[in-house]
């Protein structure tokens, strides 16, 4: 029987961390993720966990400390946002290349400049090819649940990759919602004990970390990372099944909402999915077959599965909360249409960049997307596949 609570997304993640009781947490504060290490440090100070909390002088140092502790054999966690992730840049690549299963809460925020502390996905999208598994969370419950599942995924012997749990800054991180927590003993049993096969403090089996890796071997090592990322997809589903047995809450690579018979489909991630679901309910009441595909697992990208799930749609809109600034649409759009092409799926598809810098995306905005899709279906023409949603002055 779960424990009913009312918590913000940041509180929910901090409580998940308390229940996991990692060996080390190293962090530096940055809005809107600051509350996570702040809450967790109080658990350390009052003796609720026996974690070594490392207060560092920058986010670069935070990830450096995480790498050192995880390499030494300690289960390690951290949290950051936006420019904090940017300052970690060198180290996040090193963490993944060293196959260190660090878990990080990434509270999504616009990356400067100009300075903006509100939500979009430019931080996560910038790191999408860094070798980190990326799980996205629609609401506080999902942020909590994804954090509980994270170590089981990252530490699996066939994966051994770092993992970031993403949630929308302020929209979920600071908003209080009803949530069902899992009992401490169940979390402890589910997550298990971290027993790395190779670690620096193993005196019987000395090893080197981060040696020079030139032409003779680097290609093969990078391929091993790529294989591990592919393996993660299966492991994510296995862990989700065990999690469902414990809680009754079902997770997949993505969630379909009224998708099976949908003619007009939106693809998106994180909190926007809630607004889309509400809009769909209104459109369905009018007989319009609207649907949603909400991506939960962005890395590894489940392209084949997503393409199959979209195969019955007549028209598709893909919403990106970050602009790739490449003239060819956002990252989620590019990945999705590539997957559709590989599966020989030809469906009219448009991209909307939206919500940049925390701009509100309303039911009216989402409804306008579905109206555009219906117009495309009527005319069988896609005048402009690269669009903006909610941009002032945009026609």
Residue 37 sits in the same domain as residue 158: yes
Residue 237 sits in the same domain as residue 305: no
Residue 151 sits in the same domain as residue 240: yes
Residue 84 phi, psi dihedral angles, 5° rounding: -65, -45
On whether residue 394 sits in a domain, the answer given is: no
Q: Domain of 40: which CATH number?
A: 3.40.50.970
Quote the pLDDT of residue 322.
Answer: 98
Where does a domain end: 195, 216, 247?
247
Q: Find out whether the peptide bond into 113 is cis, omega within 30 degrees of 0.
A: yes
Residue 270 phi, psi dihedral angles, 5° rounding: 65, -150
Where does a domain end: 206, 221, 247?
247
Expressed as residue numbers, the domain containing 199 is 3-247
On whether residue 140 sits in a domain, the answer given is: yes
On whether residue 81 sits in a domain, the answer given is: yes
Are the C-beta atoms of 335 and 305 separated by less than 8 Å? no
For residue 302, give both structure tokens.
């489940």
Question: Looking at 139-148, 300-309, 386-395, which range is the least confident one?
Answer: 386-395
Residue 260 sits in the same domain as residue 217: no
On whether residue 190 sits in a domain, the answer given is: yes
Q: What is the pLDDT of residues 247-299, one digit of tens each?
A: 999 999 999 999 999 999 999 999 999 999 999 999 999 999 999 999 999 99
Confidence label for 395 from pLDDT (cuts 50, 70 and 90): low
Quote the pLDDT of residue 211.
Answer: 86
Quote the pLDDT of residue 2.
Answer: 87
Residue 225 sits in the same domain as residue 310: no
Quote the pLDDT of residue 233.
Answer: 98
On whether residue 152 sits in a domain, the answer given is: yes
The pTM of the full predicted model, rounded to 2 decimals, is: 0.97
What is the DSSP pairing of strand 264-269 with strand 290-295?
Answer: parallel
CA angle, corner 292, sides to 288 and 296, nearest 5?
175
Residue 314 sits in the same domain as residue 224: no
On whether residue 127 sits in a domain, the answer given is: yes
Q: Domain of 271: which CATH number?
A: 3.40.50.920
Where does a domain end: 231, 247, 263?
247
Confidence label for 1 from pLDDT (cuts 50, 70 and 90): low
Q: What is the pLDDT of residues 47-88, one digit of tens each?
A: 999 999 999 999 999 999 999 999 999 999 999 999 999 999
Residue 214 sits in the same domain as residue 314: no
Q: How many domains does the chain have?
A: 2
Residue 114 sits in the same domain as residue 148: yes
On whether residue 395 sits in a domain, the answer given is: no
Residue 240 sits in the same domain as residue 263: no
Angle between helices 59-71 and 89-97 (to 10 degrees): 20
Residue 164 sits in the same domain as residue 46: yes
What is the share, in percent, of the chain residues with pLDDT greater than 70?
Answer: 99
Residue 239 sits in the same domain as residue 324: no
Q: What is the pLDDT of residues 172-227, one digit of tens each?
A: 999 999 999 999 999 999 999 999 999 999 999 999 888 899 999 999 999 999 99
Residue 30 sits in the same domain as residue 168: yes
Share the mean pLDDT of the chain. 97
């Amino acid at each position: 029987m779960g424990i009913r609570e009312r918590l913000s997304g940041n509180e929910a993640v901090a409580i998940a961390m308390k229940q996991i009781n990692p060996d080390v947490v190293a962090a530096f504060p940055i809005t809107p993720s600051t509350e996570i290490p702040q809450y967790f440090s109080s658990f350390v100070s009052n003796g609720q966990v026996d974690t070594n909390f490392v207060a560092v002088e920058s986010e670069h140092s935070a990830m450096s400390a995480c790498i050192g502790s995880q390499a030494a054999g300690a289960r390690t966690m951290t949290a950051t946002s936006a420019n904090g992730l940017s300052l970690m840049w060198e180290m996040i690549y090193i963490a993944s290349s060293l196959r260190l299963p660090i878990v990080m809460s990434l509270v999504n925020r616009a990356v400067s400049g100009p300075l903006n502390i509100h939500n979009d996905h430019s931080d996560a999208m910038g790191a999408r090819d860094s070798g980190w598994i990326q799980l996205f969370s629609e609401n506080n419950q999902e942020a909590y649940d994804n954090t509980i599942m994270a170590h089981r995924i990252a530490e699996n012997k066939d994966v051994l990759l770092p993992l970031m749990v993403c949630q929308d800054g302020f929209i979920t991180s600071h908003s209080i919602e009803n949530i069902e927590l899992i009992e401490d003993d169940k979390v402890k049993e589910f997550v298990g004990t971290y027993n790395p096969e190779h670690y620096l403090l193993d005196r019987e089996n000395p090893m080197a970390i981060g040696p020079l890796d030139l032409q003779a071997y680097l290609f093969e090592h990078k391929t091993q990372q790529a294989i591990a990322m592919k393996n993660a997809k299966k492991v994510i589903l296995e862990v989700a099944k065990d999690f469902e047995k414990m809680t009754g809450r079902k997770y997949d690579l993505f969630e379909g909402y009224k998708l099976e018979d949908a003619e007009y489909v939106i693809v998106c991630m994180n909190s926007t999915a809630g607004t889309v679901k509400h809009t769909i309910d209104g459109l369905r009441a009018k007989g319009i077959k609207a649907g949603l595909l909400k991506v939960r697992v962005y890395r590894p990208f489940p392209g084949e599965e997503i393409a199959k799930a979209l195969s019955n749609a007549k028209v598709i809109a893909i919403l990106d909360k970050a602009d790739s600034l490449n003239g060819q649409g956002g990252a989620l759009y590019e990945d999705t249409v590539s997957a559709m092409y590989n599966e020989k799926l030809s469906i009219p598809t448009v991209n909307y960049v939206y919500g940049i810098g925390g701009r509100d995306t309303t039911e009216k905005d989402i409804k306008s997307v579905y109206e555009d899709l219906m117009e495309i279906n009527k005319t069988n023409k896609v005048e402009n596949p690269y669009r903006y949603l909610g941009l002032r002055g945009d026609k």
